[in-house]
Amino acid sequence: MIRYVSVVAIAFLSIADAQGADSIETAGVVDAVTVYRGQALVTRKVEVPGPAGLREVIVTDLPAHIVAGSIYADSNDSVEIRSVRYRVRPLADDVREEVRKLDEQIREVHDQIQATVRHKQLMTEHKTYLDKLEQFVAPTATVELTKGVLNAETLKGLTTFLFAERARLADEELKLAIEERTLAERNDVLQRERHTLTGSSTRTAREAVVFLNLPKAEGGRLRLSYLVANANWSPSYNVRTDKDRGGALLEYFASIQQMSGEDWNDVSMTLSTATPSLVAKAPVLMPLSVTLAPLGQEQQLAQGGGKGGRGQSKDELAKQQRQVEMQRGNTLQAQQLQFDAAAPSAQAAGGNYDWILNDLACDLQMIDLLSHGKVTRTRERSSPAEVEGLSVTYELASRTTLPSRSDQQLVQIAALPLKGEFYRVASPVLTAYVYEEAQLTNATQTVLLAGPVSTYVAGQFVGHGDLPTVTAGEKFTVGLGIDSALRVERELLDRTESVQGGNRVVEFTYGLSIQNFRDEAVKVRLLDRLPRGKESEVNVNLASTSVDLSDDSEYQRLDRKKGILRWDVDVPANASLADARTVEYKFRVEYDKGTSISGLPIAMP
């Protein structure tokens, strides 16, 4: 009871102090932004004027997609932050100047449309009057004509007036129709431009109310930071090389889309692949209890039934566990995960994510405890870096401006000159084209994230590709397009078959040829492959080759053992048709004569 009274007293005194403090309203200045995948951390600089004493600083114009629970304030200027709270209040107009100007233009267009509609109504009334006048004139003229008292001049004047008015109204109708169409198109453009700026119409003021104590009479400064949603970025690259292939320039770009609802003008920007977490405490590991069950039930549990009988595999359970872990790290966004109907949800568990994580881990451990047979070494779960990508950060060298828009905005992260080996590669079993490639070395300290690549050779665009994640010091390969001066062919030259004992022996002879239509010799990596099978079932041996296989140590250590054949051949200039560079090789396949060979699906890399 004493503690309760103390808390109430402290709260009352804080409210009283806040009510007695001077109130300052300011938007501050957006100074720094860190863009994550799906979110951004925004920091505003807020100047607090003197004199010294208690202040209530209202930071206005917060964005529409702010994560309210992430707001915090700090200061390196001896400003004492007492409390920070978030509030929302309705407004008559959008709080952003750019949007307000668009709203004014939209209202002007609407007024013009209404004026046009009213003008059309008046014209309709005018036409109705002319119709009535015409209905009066015609019968009257007929009566006067029969009585011989027709006034020809009056009739002529009325007729001329009617035709002139109808012609004028027709022209006016055409002008109004064109004007109405033009205004409708203008309104549509303005509405789409407004939607591009805001994503949706906002009529709400979002504010952070910071209660502080200012010790200096000359004032001070604080920083207000918060997370916003609807912000994302992805990497992309340009690879440029000259015709001499002396090296390559790798241009690293970030394609940023931010629809947070606020513009970032002249900010210090950082790009990160980390995930901002709103939960700092590790999940609590709870005890695992087991009991005995009748024989027969353990097999069902071992096959993924789990103690709850959910019938899920280890992969499914591990995936669900990662989902809960991610949700636990961002509970303030109030987005509930969807699980199987039989699986426990955060709502059913009263938001106890630690209990859910332990419950799913229990099912995973029970599958291990009850499984039979040989154990294969597998990783229990992928690390966060492998699941979400490496956690890296890039600080842009210059300050950047990014308005809140729905379109992608490109900024350059770095331009990296790289050295490497340039070569041509031919795989005639796959294609008759010969491609040029470069194996580059990332000699910088910049980690390159996986993303699309556009390749330019001597200033000319040659095609698109993909770049894997490349760490510092790692080698990677980029494609430089098709070499149109080279062609490659693959031909089955001979096939013989015999039976030796209980086995069938089949020998194949293939010929590979490369034509070079340019006036200079080139070096080509020529690739082919042997079939592979279990040694106890199918025996495959390379019998002979007219050119020695490549002695490259990396090839011999990796690809050669997988049945990949590689020759590093020099193709002379103007080597076409009969002068083409050729390679012949023979291999032998031996297997039980009572069986036949069947192909297996190609394994994904």
Residue 572 and residue 534 share a domain: yes
**Among residues 224, 212, 225, which one has the least CA distance to residue 50?**
212
Q: What is the pLDDT of residue 549?
A: 95
What the block records as the tokens of 530 is: 């042997």
Alpha-carbon distance 366 to 348, whole Å? Answer: 23
Is position 262 within any domain? yes
Is position 268 within any domain? yes
Residue 492 and residue 554 share a domain: yes
Alpha-carbon distance 416 to 433, whole Å? Answer: 30
**Among residues 267, 198, 218, 188, which one has the least CA distance to residue 29?**
267
Is position 42 within any domain? yes
Give the three-class secondary structure for 77: coil
Count: domains in the chain? 4
Residue 103 and residue 88 share a domain: no
Residue 257 and residue 170 share a domain: no
Given a contact cutoff of 8 angstroms between Cβ atoms, the answer to whether 60 and 26 are in contact is yes
Is position 258 within any domain? yes
Q: What is the pLDDT of residue 546?
A: 95
3-state SS record for 143-178: HHHHHCCCCHHHHHHHHHHHHHHHHHHHHHHHHHHH
β-strands 522-529, 420-426 pairing: parallel
Q: What is the pLDDT of residue 155?
A: 67
Q: What is the pLDDT of residue 200?
A: 47
Give Rg (Cα) of the chain.
39
Phi, psi of 386 (to 5 degrees): -80, -30
Residue 427 and residue 394 share a domain: no
Beta bridge mates, 542: 587
Residue range of the domain that includes 165: 97-198
Work out the angle between the directed axes of helices 353-370 and 314-328 (0-180°, nearest 10).
160
**Among residues 387, 390, 386, which one has the least CA distance to residue 273?**
390
Alpha-carbon distance 224 to 210, whole Å? Answer: 9
Residue 331 and residue 368 share a domain: yes
Give the three-class secondary structure for 378: coil
pLDDT tens across 163-175, in order? 788 788 888 888 8
Low-confidence ranges of the chain (pLDDT < 50): 1-18, 20, 200-201, 304-310, 332-350, 377-389
Is position 427 within any domain? yes
Residue 596 and residue 476 share a domain: yes
Residue 394 and residue 384 share a domain: no
Alpha-carbon distance 437 to 138, whole Å? Answer: 90
Residue 155 and residue 106 share a domain: yes
Residue 260 and residue 349 share a domain: no
b/e map 463-488, b = 16+ CB within 10 Å: eebebebbeeeeebebbbbebeebbb
Is position 68 within any domain? yes
Is position 396 within any domain? yes
Is position 5 within any domain? no
Residue 522 and residue 586 share a domain: yes
Residue 402 and residue 263 share a domain: yes
